[in-house]
């Protein structure tokens, strides 16, 4: 049976963060463990495996490594992971192509374009003839180096990312067309001179839905193999930061460039719609309390829970997950019936000492740095101690099935709940709460530390959503940051 190798190294690096992403931060699997961990998931890796099988190929698993978004990847971690990938490819049985999952916004201490450097090393090692089809996250900051060193790029078309398995399947199918049908991909990149604010990166609402519709329509052209629009990741201060269009055609470079330029122009033309007018924490909590008051009126059409989106502490964008900006305001305005999840390993240990039912007085959150508020005093009873593992079987952002937020405790504070975790956990699955016995639908307010990605999980249960402009490593307004390495001029900085 013919073989295609599969592997991946994935990280989204927030260059404004002082928390480096070292080797220990990565979870990595190889061999059969890769099939077990990723085969049944909604991740592109699951799509690679299924896609190859559909076309009569078998997949050979190499390294799959990923880490929660945080600061730059250390050189040590990058070298070790890349070397492992290369060694495993060298040791693999004879294979005809490589399906590789990268993120596209990985920044390494010595390599601002980390993903491009992975591909450059693979080309140096295995030559230009090996077909390498690469999937990238919708938040990729695509570089010329990535385009030059890959056979084809296939980028998620959704945010929240719920099409990852589909993109893996698409990459698998394209690989088979290359290997069996003599298809010859040529790709072109175009980038408008702009950053696209994270608030406008929802692909199911304007303005981005029109861009993705145009990309899907373009894929119906007989010579177009893949049409990609990436929103980019504005929290990486690198030359390539910002949205990208990559069009892959069958041996038609002019068509690829023309169409990439056309979609890039469409992106550039949406800039007038990108206004920012969100409430701060005090205004948002006041509004949430008033909404909850209305909900208690039986004649009201309003529904709970009210979701307070803490944009400045977007864990999936590299923030620490322990911001107390909204919690402090909830306490100050005497809100009730809310749930907030904080990364606070020290608080978890204090709760374990007190035991289930024990009374605790704690200062929670605000411990990672000085950008996300200060520790907030709470007093309550430990309701639950949990190992922090949960399973998500539905297609949710990130496509993962097995999650581990580390030892976790739930503290009841009046009729509100403060959840403390020992690991940073992105809020992309309601199982994060359900596994702790918390009925999310019955809460009056839920604080969610995210930007857009949480919507796949929370939109179906949300009564109201209030996006809140809070400070932090993922503050919604890019003017909060000092950019040095992006290309200039760049909208909206200039």
- Count CB-CB contacts under 10 A for residue 353: 10
Transcribe 37-98 into DSSP letters. Answer: HHTTSSSHHHHHHHHHHHTT-EEEEEEEEE--SBSPBPHHHHHHHHHHHHHHHHHSPP-SEE
- Between strands 338-343 and 445-448, the pairing is parallel
Nearest residue relative to Zn ion (C-beta): 139
> Among 139, 167, 367, 424, which residue sits at the site for Zn ion (rule: CB under 5 A)?
139
DSSP state of 429: -
In this complex, which beta carbon is closest to Zn ion, that of residue 137 or of residue 259?
A: 137
Closest by CA to 306, choosing from 448, 164, 211, is 448
Q: Does 137 bind Zn ion (CB under 5 A)?
A: yes
In this complex, which beta carbon is closest to Zn ion, that of residue 137 or of residue 344?
A: 137
179 close to 131: Cβ distance less than 8 angstroms: yes
DSSP state of 435: T
Geometric angle at alpha carbon 473, from 477 and 490, rounded to 5°: 45
Closest by CA to 100, choosing from 57, 149, 41, is 149
Sheet holding 224-230, edge to edge: 185-190, 244-250, 224-230
In this complex, which beta carbon is closest to Zn ion, that of residue 160 or of residue 320?
A: 160
In this complex, which beta carbon is closest to Zn ion, that of residue 139 or of residue 191?
A: 139
- Between strands 244-250 and 224-230, the pairing is antiparallel
CB of 161 to Zn ion, least distance (A): 6
Round to whole Å and give the CA distance between 226 and 151: 12
CB of 245 to Zn ion, least distance (A): 17
CB of 97 to Zn ion, least distance (A): 25
How many residues of this chain bind Zn ion (CB under 5 A)?
2
In this complex, which beta carbon is closest to Zn ion, that of residue 137 or of residue 240?
A: 137
CB of 262 to Zn ion, least distance (A): 25
Q: Does 42 bind Zn ion (CB under 5 A)?
A: no
433 close to 305: Cβ distance less than 8 angstroms: no
CB of 34 to Zn ion, least distance (A): 21
CB of 106 to Zn ion, least distance (A): 12
Q: Does 115 bind Zn ion (CB under 5 A)?
A: no
Using the contact rule CB under 5 A, the part of the chain among 137-145, 329-337, 419-427, 434-442 near Zn ion is 137-145
CB of 132 to Zn ion, least distance (A): 21
Using the contact rule CB under 5 A, the part of the chain among 56-64, 139-147, 327-335, 479-487 near Zn ion is 139-147
117 close to 21: Cβ distance less than 8 angstroms: no
In this complex, which beta carbon is closest to Zn ion, that of residue 117 or of residue 137?
A: 137
In this complex, which beta carbon is closest to Zn ion, that of residue 137 or of residue 392?
A: 137
In this complex, which beta carbon is closest to Zn ion, that of residue 167 or of residue 383?
A: 167
CB of 407 to Zn ion, least distance (A): 27
Query: Interface with Zn ion by CB under 5 A: which residues?
Result: 137, 139
């Amino acid at each position: 049976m013919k073989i295609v190798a599969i592997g991946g190294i994935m990280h989204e690096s927030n260059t404004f963060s002082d928390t480096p992403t070292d080797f220990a931060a990565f979870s990595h699997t190889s061999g059969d463990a890769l099939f077990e961990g990723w085969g049944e998931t909604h991740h592109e890796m699951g799509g690679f495996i299924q896609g190859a099988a559909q076309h009569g190929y078998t997949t050979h698993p190499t390294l799959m490594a990923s880490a929660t978004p945080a600061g730059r990847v250390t050189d040590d971690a990058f070298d070790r992971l890349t070397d492992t990938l290369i060694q495993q490819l060298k040791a693999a049985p004879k294979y005809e192509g490589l399906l590789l999952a990268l993120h596209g916004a990985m920044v390494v201490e010595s390599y601002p374009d980390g993903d491009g450097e992975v591909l450059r090393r693979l080309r140096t090692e295995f030559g230009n003839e090996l077909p390498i089809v690469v999937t990238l996250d919708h938040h990729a900051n695509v570089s010329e180096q990535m385009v030059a060193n890959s056979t084809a790029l296939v980028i998620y078309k959704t945010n929240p990312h719920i099409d990852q398995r589909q993109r893996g399947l698409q990459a698998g199918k394209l690989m088979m067309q290359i290997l069996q049908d003599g298809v010859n991909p040529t790709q072109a990149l175009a980038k408008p001179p702009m950053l696209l604010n994270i608030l406008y990166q929802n692909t199911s609402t304007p303005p981005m839905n029109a861009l993705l519709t145009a990309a899907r329509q373009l894929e119906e052209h007989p010579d177009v193999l893949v049409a990609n629009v990436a929103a980019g990741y504005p929290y990486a201060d690198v030359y390539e930061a910002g949205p990208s269009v990559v069009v892959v055609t069958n041996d038609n470079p002019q068509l690829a460039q023309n169409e990439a330029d056309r979609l890039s122009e469409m992106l550039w033309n949406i800039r007038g719609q990108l206004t920012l007018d969100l409430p701060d924490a005090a205004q948002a909590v006041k509004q949430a309390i008033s909404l909850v008051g209305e909900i208690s009126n039986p004649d009201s059409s309003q529904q709970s829970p009210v979701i307070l989106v803490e944009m400045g502490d977007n864990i999936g964008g590299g923030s620490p997950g322990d911001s107390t900006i909204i919690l402090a305001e909830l306490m100050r305005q005497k809100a009730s019936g809310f749930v907030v999840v904080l990364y606070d390993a020290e608080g978890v240990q204090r709760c374990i000492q007190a035991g289930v039912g024990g009374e605790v007085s704690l200062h929670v959150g605000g411990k990672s740095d000085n950008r996300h508020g200060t520790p907030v005093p709470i007093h309550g009873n430990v309701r639950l101690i949990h190992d922090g593992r949960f399973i998500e079987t539905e297609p949710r952002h990130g496509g993962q099935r097995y999650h581990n937020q580390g030892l976790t405790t739930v503290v009841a504070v009046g009729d509100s709940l403060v959840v403390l975790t020992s690991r940073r956990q992105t809020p992309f699955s309601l199982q994060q709460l359900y596994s702790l016995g918390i009925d999310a639908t019955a809460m009056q307010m839920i604080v969610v530390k995210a930007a857009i990605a949480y919507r796949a999980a929370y939109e179906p249960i949300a009564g109201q959503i209030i996006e809140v402009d809070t400070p932090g490593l993922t503050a919604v307004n890019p003017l909060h940051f000092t950019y040095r390495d992006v290309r200039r001029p760049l909208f909206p900085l200039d």
